[in-house]
Amino acid sequence: MALRALRGATRLQADDPAEMTAAVVELLTTIFERNQLSSDQLVSMIFTATPDLVCMFPAAAARGLGLGDVPLICAQEIAVPGALSQVVRVMVHADIERSRAEVVHVYLRGAEVLRQDLAQ
């Protein structure tokens, strides 16, 4: 097994706790499914949110997936003029048997424009 970093992002329509929860759960579930990950393989996750998202911590939404023993942390994304708004990003660190080239990064809900080279 190797430690790999899996990237992902999603975009919200509003700064709303219910939407934050739904978007983060959808993003993580999709990352886990596409990479055939179980919670035992997770090492840690780093979440960032754009400065216009303050309704809740993305990590709090992730806890609803039963990730109580996985270290999670949130940070604020840099406020770059003209950057895409209402975006949550995640970097998942996991022990998996895939090579870097086989890792599937996930971009949803309009966040695909952030990394068209990685978006599936």
Q: Terminal CA-to-CA distance of the chain, rounded, Å?
A: 24
Tell me what pLDDT residue 111 has. Answer: 83
Determine contact, residues 87/11, Cβ cutoff 8 Å: yes
112 tagged catalytic: no
Any idea what the CATH number is for the domain that residue 51 is in? 3.30.1330.40
User: DSSP assignment, residue 109?
Assistant: T
Give the phi and the psi of residue 114 in degrees, each rounded to 5.
Answer: -70, -40
34 tagged catalytic: no
Within a domain: residue 62? Answer: yes
Within a domain: residue 120? Answer: no
109 tagged catalytic: no
Within a domain: residue 21? Answer: yes
Tell me what pLDDT residue 93 has. Answer: 97
11 tagged catalytic: no
Q: Of the residues 63, 100, 109, 112, which is catalytic?
A: 63
Within a domain: residue 119? Answer: no
pLDDT tens digits for range 9-44: 999 999 999 999 999 999 999 999 999 999 999 999
User: Which residue numbers in the chain have pLDDT < 70?
Assistant: 115-120
Tell me what pLDDT residue 110 has. Answer: 79
Number of domains in the chain: 1
74 tagged catalytic: yes
Q: What is the domain extent for residue 73?
A: 2-114
Q: What is the model's pTM?
A: 0.92
Within a domain: residue 64? Answer: yes
CA dihedral (9, 15, 20, 23) positive or negative: negative
